[in-house]
Structure 1
């Protein structure tokens, strides 16, 4: 970026972060007190829960309001030049997909829609990402950027988008965890976009990070409000869309995005595969994610959350550093993190076996 553009970019980032955080935090506080009864939806404890009392689950509305406020301000600052409008095209497609997911998720929070209807909407949202050019169309591994044929790229894009959307919902089961992943992970994506010179991408991701941080003001343990399906599913779609956006526009290879969200991707995927292998109904409520097992093993919410956020911060920092590494060093980084995640898996098992009684 030129010096003047750099200054404008920093100003825009500060404005977007401030507006998204303030709107989200204020609405989070407002909704946590149950001020709007027609929006008031409670999350009652169930077989999956780690909480004992009903908690409002409308925090996703506050987060999305902060996100919209931040993005609109960013677009106003960017202006209506042809370059700015062209750069914002992926954001328009992502916004359309987000509107679909947020709408069906909001009603699911209120009246519990059928899985088939939710899946059809998730598929439609994934198709919108594809139509907007947010695609998994390259192999995207260190030293292997081979283009993928359409017959492979399309189903991979759809599966990746739908899985990210749902796994984020699965992982939203502990105070502060989903919001913390979003705050740190999207901040990392914003930095990657800013370093690559894509201000629109950086502003969008910064708005998500700031809105999630605003939501955390009411969601850190003991939480006064939850994301609900409208918040968790929306963050999952944004994680898929923004990683595909960054990869498809050449800001970073897709594996960098996977690394940032690897704590969620690996926990959810491993848990689903293990439950499927054991013949369990994978869509039923449960408490067998690694973070849930640590809480139940006696670590408690705060200790588990602190270590989870440290892990998320570490993988995000590694992803930022990876763009400056050689291909060999990038593979070493991936292998190193694979070993760490295996050790974490065994550490969780040790914590369970050491639990009194």
Structure 2
């Protein structure tokens, strides 16, 4: 990465670290929102959940510098606008509890803004020939994908350090792919998110002193969806590679949703059914669960970086291999629960 372009990335990390410390130590009471423990929580004491403000402040300041030092494209402006919309409404939700319908409408509106900005799922996106999608289907898939990414990131942000680790490694991998493809603006934008997320981890590793809150998790979910679409539309990588990068979250959240829906449970309500939650409750604890999650996240990211240079047959083999790994993880979680019950 160009040394000048690295400046915004460094600043994103510094601002995030500083703001995380201030919010964790409750230096700015007007911004504080406390996460009270409940039957579905994995923590036992009230913890500030405004850490997403630190991540977003670091990234947005970096974005201003990036636009000056590297340049500005419409995609970046639309992405920033959509993220600020989701962040503002999510922060309000952290403080006042909005209805599910209101949140969903805002998420769809943010997804629509990215569509207007050219960030679209308009190709099939699987290994092999790229197949253009009809306009109506592309719009529907784009809205569905972005809305699901916003929400699944929120669902997966339930354990100390997990969302921060996924973001630091995941967006770091996207930055690497952007740099390899010669797109400095894209690479720097992704690297700034990764740096801000890494800065937040200084207060979020177990035992966490601060949580992301909806303002952080929802915004990072939109960034994950938007930046994978941007990378695919810029032909830096096929869309499925972006899915692979974030598959530790996508697979767990999607599998859990389908499982709960099949059981006719209220899948839209908070719960403790995700794999990471089940492992913590089975006696693994936050540190052990996060350690193995970090191994998985890093391995997936490394394979995604290698995937862009593979043949189509090798790419399908890679997808199949990871499918098997995720099946084994599911079985291992069930075994951990049975061992815990004796």
TM-score of the pair, normalised by structure 2: 0.98
C-alpha contact 2:156 2:163 (8 A) present in aligned 1: yes
Following the alignment from structure 1 to structure 2, what is the Cα–Cα distance between the partners of residues 233 and 48? 19
What is the deviation of 1:40? Answer: 1.0
Q: Extract unaligned runs of 5+ from structure 1.
A: 1-8, 79-83
Structure-to-structure mapping, 1:151-300, within 5 angstroms: 151-300=136-285
SS of 1:259's partner is: helix
SS of 1:140's partner is: coil
C-alpha contact 1:39 1:58 (8 A) present in aligned 2: yes
TM-score of the pair, normalised by structure 1: 0.94
* Structure 2 partner of 1:94: 79
SS of 2:198's partner is: helix
C-alpha contact 1:186 1:206 (8 A) present in aligned 2: yes
* Structure 1 partner of 2:25: 33
SS of 2:120's partner is: coil
Following the alignment from structure 1 to structure 2, what is the Cα–Cα distance between the partners of residues 61 and 116? 24
Following the alignment from structure 2 to structure 1, what is the Cα–Cα distance between the partners of residues 4 and 254? 37
C-alpha contact 1:13 1:206 (8 A) present in aligned 2: no
C-alpha contact 1:16 1:206 (8 A) present in aligned 2: no
Asked if 1:57 corresponds to 2:42, the answer is no
What is the deviation of 1:144? Answer: 2.9
C-alpha contact 2:161 2:290 (8 A) present in aligned 1: yes
C-alpha contact 2:6 2:188 (8 A) present in aligned 1: no
Structure-to-structure mapping, 1:31-180, within 5 angstroms: 31-78=23-70, 84-85=71-72, 88-180=73-165
Q: Extract unaligned runs of 5+ from structure 2.
A: none
Following the alignment from structure 2 to structure 1, what is the Cα–Cα distance between the partners of residues 245 and 105? 28
SS of 1:141's partner is: coil
What is the deviation of 1:103? Answer: 0.6
Following the alignment from structure 1 to structure 2, what is the Cα–Cα distance between the partners of residues 48 and 25? 29
Between stretches 279-288 and 310-319, larger displacement belongs to 279-288
Runs of 4 or more above 4 Å deviation: none
Between stretches 163-172 and 65-74, larger displacement belongs to 65-74
Aligned length: 342
What is the deviation of 1:16? Answer: 2.1
Following the alignment from structure 2 to structure 1, what is the Cα–Cα distance between the partners of residues 155 and 205? 18
Q: Which digits, 9 at most, give the CA deviation of each residue in 1:141-192, with x for residues without a partner?
A: 1113100010110000000000000000000000000010000000000000
Following the alignment from structure 1 to structure 2, what is the Cα–Cα distance between the partners of residues 263 and 37? 35
SS of 1:94's partner is: helix
Q: Which digits, 9 at most, give the CA deviation of each residue in 1:52-81, with x for residues without a partner?
A: 000000100000011112222222212xxx
C-alpha contact 1:123 1:158 (8 A) present in aligned 2: yes
